[in-house]
Amino acid sequence: MRITNTLTGKKEEFVPIQPGVVRMYVCGPTVYDLIHVGNARPAVVFDVFRRYLEYRGYRVIMVQNFTDIDDKIINKANQLGVDYKTVADTFIAEYWRDAHALGIRPANFHPRTTDFVDDIVEIIERLVEKGVAYQTETGVYFDVRKFEKYGELSKKKIEDLIAGARVEVDETKKFPLDFSLWKKAKPGEPCWKSPWGEGRPGWHIECTVMSVKILGESFDIHAGGEDLVFPHHENEKAQAEALTGKVFARYWMHNGMVRFLGDKMSKSTGNIFTVREAVKRYGRDGLRYMILSKHYRSPMDFSEELLQDYSRAVKRVWEILGRYEKSGDIGIPKRNAVYEEYVNRFVEALDDDFNTPVAVSLIFELARNLSKAMDDNDREDALLYYHLIRREFGPVLGLFDLNEEKKEVSSEELLKLLIEVRDVLRKEKRYDLSDRIRDHLREIGIILKDTPSGTEYTVE
């Protein structure tokens, strides 16, 4: 298996530190709003990458964090008149709802920043003792000039980074690129005790601490969107390696950005399309197919029209699968030469820098072959193609998975439709049928109540 390592800019053979075990850290969301399609791309990409590692026989230990204290979260809390924890808890719950709808498997660990504040304070103290961090009247900062490899990940010189990058403006800093490890609290902000006064962690230190505490001082893969290369991942790397003197992450993987109307999709610009809306309109597989049809390192253009096209393509495959399932011939095929050829092509694609577009195209090729085999009444080949889609490749890509429901209509939508039909029947005085609907719903625990403003229901 070969993957492109952002650190070297080269496609490298993947060799984990511990044979047979992969430790990976994926940067998760800052939880102050619903996730959008831009957030969904790394979630889907690295969900599938983890599935593929497991398919290849590795045991994967995956960490994905939640940033649950941040300026954006504090601002949201102030807007809503609630505390920061209410905002964080609310949108972590909403994240899980959307992640489940999108077929994202939970990582092994989902640490929150606020659960690691004591560990963060300890690590900052060690960085200060080593002379690579210093205190000012506004907090504690990392001194980037004390770390010789600063800029190695983003492949930029310090002078270039000063000219063109996002830096924290603070006159108390020794150097413009120095970044915050600990922010002293402002009036009314949530805060924790520390040797430098009450405050809260900076953004970059949280991921360094959580990854080191859970995965160890050196681990295999650090992943996220390419917008995190600088400053976030550059700063994470600097902190960790200045602290331990060891290589922080051996491989760095970054997915390309999602562009909406030509610009990066982000909440700050308003260029967003939520995962919830996308899945509701076009289905889980439609969105996953759209994301996986582009190589993970390439930028991805998004439009609702494109998503609709991907959704239609997915529905055609579901129709072919549904047609086969009606035959009732759901057995296990022989692993013949055709079977092995497809498996080899699938592995060859994903071993080559995780080339999901080729892997996904195999599923659509198999669907066409399945349709033809059914037309030709070739039951042996039909079973083989069906098995490869639903049981071999589908679970790896999270597409057409046997473990996921394929129905597009929710139970709530069906119930509303039944109530509308019953209302029409009552207006037409066809009470025998309207009462049958009411009585059958009562039998399954749904109680209808007719009111002047319409029919209401409760679930017992």
- CATH number for the domain spanning 323: value is 1.20.120.640
Clarify whether residues 389 and 415 are in a common domain. no
Closest C-alpha among 236, 229, 281, 300 to residue 39 = 300
Clarify whether residues 165 and 27 are in a common domain. yes
Structure-token pair, residue 285: 């597989």
Clarify whether residues 434 and 322 are in a common domain. no
Clarify whether residues 147 and 214 are in a common domain. yes
Clarify whether residues 43 and 160 are in a common domain. yes
Clarify whether residues 172 and 87 are in a common domain. yes
Clarify whether residues 50 and 86 are in a common domain. yes
383 found inside a domain: yes
5 found inside a domain: no
Number of domains in the chain: 3
Clarify whether residues 196 and 320 are in a common domain. no
Clarify whether residues 326 and 250 are in a common domain. no
Q: pLDDT confidence of 407, banded at 50, 70, 90?
A: very low
User: Residue 365 annotated as binding?
Assistant: no
162 found inside a domain: yes
The better pLDDT of the pair 267, 373 is held by 373
Residue 262's pLDDT is 65
For residues 389-410, give the mean pLDDT: 76
Helix axes 71-80, 84-101, angle to 10 degrees: 110
Each residue's pLDDT tens digit, 90-133: 999 999 999 999 999 999 999 999 999 999 999 999 999 999 99
216 found inside a domain: yes
Each residue's pLDDT tens digit, 255-282: 999 998 666 666 666 668 999 999 999 9
Q: Out of 254, 288, 315, pick the residue that ends a domain.
A: 254
For residues 72-98, give the mean pLDDT: 97
Answer whether residue 239 shows pLDDT above 70. yes
For 171, phi and psi rounded to 5 degrees?
Answer: -70, -15
Which pTM does this prediction carry? Answer: 0.86
User: Residue 280 annotated as binding?
Assistant: no
Clarify whether residues 130 and 211 are in a common domain. yes
User: Residue 27 annotated as binding?
Assistant: yes
The span from the CA of 158 to the CA of 180, in Å, is 17
Average pLDDT in the chain: 93
6 found inside a domain: no
Under DSSP, the state recorded for 406 is -
Q: Out of 219, 254, 289, pick the residue that ends a domain.
A: 254
CATH code for the domain in which residue 195 is found: 3.40.50.620
Clarify whether residues 377 and 432 are in a common domain. no
Answer whether residue 406 shows pLDDT above 50. no
Which domain range does residue 436 map to?
409-457
The span from the CA of 155 to the CA of 389, in Å, is 41
Residue 404's pLDDT is 46
User: Residue 11 annotated as binding?
Assistant: no
Closest C-alpha among 272, 274, 275 to residue 264 = 272
Clarify whether residues 434 and 385 are in a common domain. no
350 found inside a domain: yes
User: Residue 191 annotated as binding?
Assistant: no
